Amino acid sequence: MTMESEPMAIEFAVDSLESPALTKAQLADLLFEHIGLNKRESKDMVDAFFDLIAQSLIAGEDVKLSGFGNFQIRTKAARPGRNPRTGEAIPIEARRVVTFHASSKLKEQIQG
């Protein structure tokens, strides 16, 4: 799944965030304030966006957001592990994990 379009710059002060993480509710508020969607539409749009990403990953598809990065599903093999408290050996089962790789554009923006 690829979502490519011209990036829309939405400026907001990090100081105004209530927590150190950007939440889905805050994203919906930003859509409400900067784009003019009503609050219900904003919340539905944010939820639909993340649901679409999640469903694509569940289906085993990579998600590529142009200028932001790639989410990929990776299968990790079963391996022996160890309980750190007791030192007891325990098997770790094979599983699928999501990895994120930032795009070079995002890395450049982060560096300043």
Pick the more confident residue, 17 or 78. Answer: 78
Confidence of residue 53 (pLDDT cuts 50, 70, 90): very high
- The pLDDT value recorded for residue 112 is 84
Written as one string, the DSSP assignment of 29-83 is HHHHHHH---HHHHHHHHHHHHHHHHHHHHTT--EEETTTEEEEEEEEPPEEEE-
Q: Give percent above pLDDT 90 in the chain.
A: 71
- How many whole angstroms separate alpha carbon 92 and alpha carbon 111? 37
For the stretch 10-21, pLDDT in tens is 555 555 555 678
Q: Please, what are the domains in the chain?
A: 20-61 (4.10.520.10), 62-112 (4.10.520.10)
- The pLDDT value recorded for residue 5 is 46
Mean pLDDT of the chain: 86
> Residue 65: pLDDT above 70?
yes
Mean local confidence (pLDDT), 71-96 = 95
